[in-house]
């Protein structure tokens, strides 16, 4: 397939995962991207303009103002001063000012402006296909068949792709992906998800009624947080999140008006979770809010660590003791690279700890089609599994998701394929396995390479990338640059990343967008 696929943007495949290419070629390409990254010419000029233009405000408008054509126009009904204050508090660095500037730079390049680089490289987001990773052929064949069922008569499609498409269409109203599904998701897909979880977790039972299909994992996470928020003042709901964190969490909490409780991952111990730190964060938070849930990202985003089974058990014990609802973001469950590391689902560990825990600890875990070897972000597929949720709350959850009608059906179909891929003996099995393995190997290689190359650079130190798709290296920023950044009202790491962008075209996300210990600076680099 890769040979015939249109490759108009082939120049962008800086770190290609192309299955037809040699490992050597990948290494050299990857290396060149990383080399760029290690040589920022930190000159203190251009970024100021970029940022200040983005942060320009013009408050205090008069009730009437002169419009362009000289006509008096009324003041706006909806202004920055009277809009929803919780929305204003939302920050989302992964698509924040630096990405806005990257888009501007792309436009300027396309208009022929001269830059010190030929293209913008977006290492700001885990967007695998945009970086050249190829989709799994089988998945796309089935999606094409579901989109245009006339193709079921086309003998060039493998039989297993056809039977899978047939089965998905049978579960759709009027045999069309254009029909709404049940709000919780297509029943047959939820059943397949449950079987997948049972296999993954060594036979632990999974009830399809506990599966909710979602619009990507983000949708499920926000929905769960929404259920948990209540109270005012000192009894306001607090949610514990790791620092560094994925900024969806802080954004959702800001919007919902919940209290964000930071617990710090231990950078010195490969970004591990530490129960003492959880306890410290919780005890302090109880002074000013009502902590109700603990969020974990494993494998970690942006930090790339993989939690040990022991650590997960400790976390579950802590949640049980402290009466916290657990939210386990496990979207990188196939992205584990380091020797001796293994993915353990919170569900499995919980169930292995016996009925004292498995019958009581409330858990929601999240998965999606966007990461792992699939990288199908654009389809917005995902699911959540809820364990031990109160029956009445579950009724409310089902009602709540019904308001958005249903998750996108193509994303549901894709989720079905992810949890129920070709099996040994089926015509597509060999090619599926080959593609999947090649992609995971390439990701593993990039993880290793990232760590190696970054650690060769003076002023950068990077923990091993055990899993996920990111590294979060620590950077030493010269005192002079820090002062200059401060004078501009910028975070020093934002200043650093903005310079990197202006001078090399590489778009990183500053560590301040994820949170970091005071006085330390990082960036997230997406492989």
Find the binding residues for a copy of itself in span 447-486 (CB under 8 A). Answer: none
Choose which of 28, 41, 148, 430 interacts with a copy of itself (CB under 8 A). Answer: 148
Choose which of 194, 252, 468, 482 interacts with a copy of itself (CB under 8 A). Answer: 252
Applying CB under 8 A, which part among 70-78, 193-201, 482-490, 509-517 lies near a copy of itself?
70-78
Sequence-distant (6+) residues with CB within 8 A of 140 are none
Q: What is the DSSP string of 344-378?
A: --HHHHHHHT-HHHHTT--EEEEEESSSTTT--GG
Q: Considering only residues 85 through 124, tell me which ones interact with a copy of itself, judged by CB under 8 A.
A: 85, 87-88, 90-92, 94-96, 103
User: Min. distance of Cβ 137 from a copy of itself in angstroms?
Assistant: 8
User: Min. distance of Cβ 336 from a copy of itself in angstroms?
Assistant: 22
CB atoms within 10 A of CB 272: 18
Q: Considering only residues 399 through 418, tell me which ones interact with a copy of itself, judged by CB under 8 A.
A: 399-400, 402-411
User: Min. distance of Cβ 130 from a copy of itself in angstroms?
Assistant: 3
CA distance 433 to 164: 17
Q: Using DSSP, state whether 470 is helix, strand or coil.
A: strand
Q: Is 77 exposed, middle or buried (0-12, 13-18, 19+ CB in 10 A)?
A: exposed
Q: Considering only residues 274 through 303, tell me which ones interact with a copy of itself, judged by CB under 8 A.
A: 292-293
**Closer CB to a copy of itself, 29 or 457, in the complex:** 29
> Rounded to an integer, what is the distance from CA 362 to the centroid of its chain?
23
Residue 208 in contact with a copy of itself, rule: CB under 8 A: no
**Closer CB to a copy of itself, 280 or 399, in the complex:** 399
Q: Is the peptide bond before 302 cis (omega within 30 degrees of 0)?
A: yes
In angstroms, the first-to-last Cα distance of the chain is 24
Residue 421 in contact with a copy of itself, rule: CB under 8 A: no
Residue 264 in contact with a copy of itself, rule: CB under 8 A: no
Residue 150 in contact with a copy of itself, rule: CB under 8 A: yes
Q: Considering only residues 210 through 249, tell me which ones interact with a copy of itself, judged by CB under 8 A.
A: 215-216, 218-219, 222, 226-230, 248
Q: Are 351 and 331 in contact (CB under 8 A)?
A: no
Applying CB under 8 A, which part among 296-304, 388-396, 463-471, 483-491 lies near a copy of itself?
388-396
**Closer CB to a copy of itself, 5 or 114, in the complex:** 5
Closest residue by Cα to residue 32 from 13, 45, 18, 46: 13
Q: Is 134 left (phi over 0), alpha (psi -120 to 50) or beta?
A: beta
Choose which of 76, 309, 434, 483 interacts with a copy of itself (CB under 8 A). Answer: 76
Q: Are 472 and 522 in contact (CB under 8 A)?
A: yes
User: Min. distance of Cβ 31 from a copy of itself in angstroms?
Assistant: 20
Residue 316 in contact with a copy of itself, rule: CB under 8 A: no
Applying CB under 8 A, which part among 374-382, 441-449, 455-463, 514-522 lies near a copy of itself?
374-382
CA distance 527 to 510: 15
CA distance 18 to 285: 48
Residue 392 in contact with a copy of itself, rule: CB under 8 A: yes
The partner residues of 327 in beta bridges, in order of sequence, read 295, 364
> Token pair for residue 62?
């008069």
C-alpha neighbours within 13 Å on the C-beta side of residue 188 = 16
Choose which of 20, 25, 32, 180 interacts with a copy of itself (CB under 8 A). Answer: 180
Closest residue by Cα to residue 441 from 11, 132, 18: 18
Residue 7 in contact with a copy of itself, rule: CB under 8 A: yes
Applying CB under 8 A, which part among 328-336, 386-394, 415-423, 478-486 lies near a copy of itself?
386-394
CB atoms within 10 A of CB 423: 10
Closest residue by Cα to residue 520 from 271, 275, 256, 348: 271
Q: Considering only residues 487 through 516, tell me which ones interact with a copy of itself, judged by CB under 8 A.
A: none
Backbone torsions φ then ψ of 338, nearest 5 degrees: -75, 145
Applying CB under 8 A, which part among 149-157, 344-352, 455-463, 480-488 lies near a copy of itself?
149-157
**Closer CB to a copy of itself, 360 or 520, in the complex:** 360
Residue 182 in contact with a copy of itself, rule: CB under 8 A: yes
Choose which of 344, 380, 436, 522 interacts with a copy of itself (CB under 8 A). Answer: 380
Site string for a copy of itself, 337-366 (x = CB under 8 A): ------------------x---xx-x----
Residue 53 in contact with a copy of itself, rule: CB under 8 A: no
Sequence-distant (6+) residues with CB within 8 A of 354 are none
């Amino acid at each position: 397939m890769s040979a015939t696929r249109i490759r108009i943007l082939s120049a962008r495949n800086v770190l290609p995962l192309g299955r037809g290419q040699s490992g050597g070629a990948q290494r050299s390409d990857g290396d060149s991207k990383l080399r760029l990254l290690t040589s920022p010419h930190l000159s203190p000029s251009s970024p100021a303009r970029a940022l200040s233009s983005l942060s320009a405000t013009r408050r205090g408008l008069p009730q009437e103002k002169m419009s362009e054509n000289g006509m008096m126009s009324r003041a706006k009904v909806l202004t920055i001063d009277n809009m929803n204050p919780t929305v204003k508090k939302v920050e989302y660095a992964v698509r924040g000012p630096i990405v806005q500037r990257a888009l501007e730079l792309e436009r300027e390049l396309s208009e022929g402006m001269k830059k010190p680089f030929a293209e913008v490289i977006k290492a700001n987001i885990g967007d695998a296909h945009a970086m050249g990773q190829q989709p799994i052929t089988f998945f796309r064949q089935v999606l094409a068949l579901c989109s245009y069922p006339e193709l079921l008569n086309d003998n060039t499609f493998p039989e297993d792709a056809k039977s899978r498409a047939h089965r998905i269409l049978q579960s759709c109203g009027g045999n069309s992906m254009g029909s709404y599904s049940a709000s919780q998701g297509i029943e047959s897909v939820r059943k397949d998800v449950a079987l997948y979880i049972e296999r993954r977790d060594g036979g632990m039972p999974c009830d399809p009624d506990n599966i909710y299909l979602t619009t990507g994992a983000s949708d499920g996470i926000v929905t769960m947080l929404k259920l948990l928020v209540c109270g005012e003042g000192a009894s306001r709901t607090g949610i514990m999140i790791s620092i560094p964190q994925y900024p969806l969490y802080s954004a959702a909490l800001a919007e919902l008006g919940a209290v964000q409780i930071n617990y710090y991952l231990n950078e010195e111990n490969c970004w591990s979770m530490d129960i003492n730190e959880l306890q410290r964060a919780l005890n302090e938070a109880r002074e000013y809010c009502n902590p109700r849930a603990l969020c974990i990202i494993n494998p970690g985003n942006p930090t790339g660590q993989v939690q040990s089974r022991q650590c997960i058990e400790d976390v579950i014990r802590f949640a049980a003791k402290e009466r916290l609802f657990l939210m386990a973001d496990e979207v990188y469950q196939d992205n584990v690279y380091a020797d001796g590391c293994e993915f353990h689902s919170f569900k499995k560990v919980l169930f292995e700890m016996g009925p004292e825990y498995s019958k009581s600890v409330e858990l929601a875990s999240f998965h999606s089609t966007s990461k792992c070897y699939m990288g199908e972000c654009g389809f917005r597929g995902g699911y959540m599994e809820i364990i031990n949720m109160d029956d009445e709350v579950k009724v409310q959850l089902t009602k709540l998701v019904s308001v958005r009608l249903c998750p996108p059906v193509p994303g549901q179909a894709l989720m079905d394929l992810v949890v129920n891929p070709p099996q040994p003996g089926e015509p597509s099995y060999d090619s599926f396995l080959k593609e999947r393995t090649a992609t995971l190997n390439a990701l593993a290689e990039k993880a290793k390479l990232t760590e190696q190359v970054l650690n060769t650079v003076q002023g950068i130190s990077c923990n091993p990338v055990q899993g996920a798709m990111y590294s979060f290296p620590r950077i030493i920023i010269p005192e002079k640059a820090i002062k200059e950044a401060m004078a501009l009202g910028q975070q020093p790491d934002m200043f650093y990343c903005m310079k990197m962008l202006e001078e090399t075209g590489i778009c990183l996300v500053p560590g301040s967008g994820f949170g970091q210990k005071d006085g330390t600076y990082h960036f997230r680099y997406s492989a």
